[in-house]
Structure 1
Amino acid sequence: MAPNRSQIRSKLQPHLDHIHVKLNKRVHTKYPKMPLITFTGLPCSGKTRWAEQLIEQLEHKIAAAQESSAPGHNYKIVYHSDETLGISPMAYKESATEKHARGTQLLAVKRDLSRSTFVILDSLSYIKGFRYQLFCEAKGVVTPHCVIQVMNSVDTCVAWNDASSPKKWDSDVIHQLSMRYEEPNADSRWDSPLFTVVSDYAGETLPVDQIWEALVLKRPPPPNAATLVKPTTGNDYMQDLERLTLEVVTKVVQHQQLTSAGGNVVVDALQNICVEIPTEAVSIAQLQRIRRTFVGLNRMRSIDVHRIQSVFVDYLNKSLNE
């Protein structure tokens, strides 16, 4: 008599379980979790106080998980803020210095997205485009992320700033930032999951259990071709990255030596790759600074060699003309 389906399955089940365990190990090895927590809110809204509370409570969660080797038992915490990154409140007075500040923040986050690490960014993060960049970095390495919005009235933020010693922020800058602030939206994937805390509410608490659930216990979002970080291919890739970006900068410098400022510098006529030079002259130092930033941002990912100059020119054009 031939065995029935249940008998066949019972014989195969140990082998299926073994395969399932091996596949799970491969998934977790290939795509380790590296949760990113982005704080957003106005200056002096209480973000740092909430970030400190979150760190303390996450440390308790990690310690509890270590007792039973539960998920999260091997996690550590890395904290970044404007203060730790050496970013002055004065940087937010001018668009150029503010853009450089955001670049510093993004670079720090990208550097520290590593196996089993909570990366906490305690900053304004008031531009949705910047939060989207952070989301893409998290998704690119297949890690969960969340946004914590710290809410407070503008008047209270100004009052708390005035009461601090020394006073950190210019009151006019706080008001200007409140006008430019782009509220996070829980329906947008780059702002989700979104947790909100109100600083001047006496009974407010952090939803730490929900944050732990979202970042440790849930599966991270799948990557797509646009955000997936590919491992670098070694010295050859870095040499190509350095050489091809330097070629672009050299062509821009030569163009400015021969002509007045402004115009287009043709990098590749066949692919229609051109650097758009602004009307003001661009210094060699500025070009090299942009180039170094680009190389740093792409050091840990592999861009196809034939696309390096195209991607760099796009980045250069945005940096020069924003």
Structure 2
Amino acid sequence: MPLIVISGYPSSCKTTKARELAKYFEEKGKVVKVVSENIAVPKAGFRKNEYFSDSQKEKTVRSDLKSEVIRLLNKQDLVIFDSSNYIKGYRYEIFCATKAARTTQCTLFCAIQKELAWKFNKGRNGTDDNLKNDNNALLDNSDVPYDEEVFNGLCLRYEEPHGNCRWDSPLFVSFPNDILDFQGIYDALFESKPLVPNQSTQNPPLSSTNHLFELDKLTQEIVSDITAARKIGILGPVSVKATDVKVNIPDSINAIQLNRLRKQFLNYTKLHTNASSLDKAPQLFVQFLNSNFNK
């Protein structure tokens, strides 16, 4: 699902904007999933202000929220991540997950003056004790106010998103009384190309239990064939087992250099080769050696 990451100070109308976005995209015929911090905290059994005062509790719920977002990501529908998302590194982790899912993402920054956010916060009248789970409805602490110490701490720790950071881009900024740029957000998510995954966001290919052992054994045999040929004075291209490709060994190469190249090849194939390509490994290793010898 394309992803909207909502970020902002406490009491900056994040949940209100999330609901507006959900309504808009549902009217567009999209399936919308909202992942909300306001629901995750009471679901985990934590009181709102105690949760934000305890880094371990906060870390646990942040991890759960990220896992839920990643689970829902695909290329068709929409995920709205309603949370403070105040840590820059955390937003980057979400961005990497979006790239790995080959889908699109944008960030909505709910901008607000700290004084106005505190005024909104004081207007809330809910308590954790009044949260009830009637008819199996999810608990929601949106109307529970922050303590002043917690509020100030969250504002102090907040790392504002910036449009020039790729993990916050495209960035949409909205103040409490602003009308959201619904069309711009829609175009960013459904009319633009998905993020292109790179090696850092890709899972390594799966390999069988004995794959690396067999690969190590094959490359050792090839190096042994080469060193044996050199010992008996064979010059020019050398034939090795399991492949028709010959190794063109320069006169200056020695066993230490061959083994160093073999280790480089093994490290590379751990990341780029799966078990089904084991039969091609000898040929690839010989080609790897030839390409390095010709440099």
Contact 1:91 1:101 in 2 (8 A): no
Structure 1 residue 143: Cα displacement: 0.7
Of the two, which has the highest radius of gyration? 2
Aligned-residue CA RMSD (Å): 2.4
Specify the code of the residue in structure 1 equivalent to 2:85.
S
Closer/same/farther in 2, CA of residues 232 and 164 from structure 1, 3 Å limit: farther
TM-score, with normalisation over the residues of structure 2? 0.60
Q: Do structure 1's residue 178 and structure 2's residue 155 form an aligned pair?
A: yes
Closer/same/farther in 2, CA of residues 229 and 216 from structure 1, 3 Å limit: farther
Q: Do structure 1's residue 79 and structure 2's residue 34 form an aligned pair?
A: yes
Q: Counterparts of 1:107-126 in structure 2 under 5 Å?
A: 107-126=67-86
| 1:146 alignment partner in structure 2 | 106
For 2:56, what is the secondary structure of its paired residue? Answer: helix
CA distance in 2, matches of 1:232, 1:212: 36
Q: Do structure 1's residue 37 and structure 2's residue 4 form an aligned pair?
A: yes
Contact 1:154 1:174 in 2 (8 A): no
Q: Do structure 1's residue 188 and structure 2's residue 174 form an aligned pair?
A: no
CA distance in 2, matches of 1:229, 1:117: 23
Q: Counterparts of 1:136-285 in structure 2 under 5 Å?
A: 136-166=96-126, 167-199=144-176, 201=177, 204-229=178-203
For 2:70, what is the secondary structure of its paired residue? Answer: helix
CA distance in 2, matches of 1:139, 1:152: 30
CA distance in 2, matches of 1:83, 1:176: 18
Contact 1:37 1:147 in 2 (8 A): yes
CA distance in 2, matches of 1:51, 1:40: 11
Mark the runs of 5 or more structure 2 residues left unpaired by the alignment: 127-143, 210-270, 275-295
Specify the code of the residue in structure 2 equivalent to 1:214.
A
Specify the code of the residue in structure 2 equivalent to 1:76.
V
For 1:189, what is the secondary structure of its paired residue? Answer: coil
Structure 1 residue 93: Cα displacement: 0.9
For 2:167, what is the secondary structure of its paired residue? Answer: helix
Structure 1 residue 206: Cα displacement: 0.4
Q: Counterparts of 1:36-115 in structure 2 under 5 Å?
A: 36-62=3-29, 75-85=30-40, 86=43, 88=46, 89=48, 90-115=50-75
For 1:83, what is the secondary structure of its paired residue? Answer: helix
Closer/same/farther in 2, CA of residues 162 and 231 from structure 1, 3 Å limit: farther
Structure 1 residue 171: Cα displacement: 1.7
Structure 1 residue 108: Cα displacement: 0.7
**Share of identical aligned residues, percent?**
32
Contact 2:75 2:103 in 1 (8 A): no
Specify the code of the residue in structure 2 equivalent to 1:198.
F
CA distance in 1, matches of 2:206, 2:145: 41
| 1:134 alignment partner in structure 2 | 94
Structure 1 residue 232: Cα displacement: 7.1
Closer/same/farther in 2, CA of residues 163 and 225 from structure 1, 3 Å limit: same
Contact 1:141 1:228 in 2 (8 A): no
Closer/same/farther in 2, CA of residues 230 and 100 from structure 1, 3 Å limit: same
Contact 1:135 1:145 in 2 (8 A): yes
| 1:272 alignment partner in structure 2 | none
CA distance in 2, matches of 1:129, 1:210: 26
For 1:172, what is the secondary structure of its paired residue? Answer: helix
Closer/same/farther in 2, CA of residues 303 and 187 from structure 1, 3 Å limit: same
Structure 1 residue 46: Cα displacement: 0.5
The number of aligned residues is: 191
Closer/same/farther in 2, CA of residues 155 and 215 from structure 1, 3 Å limit: same
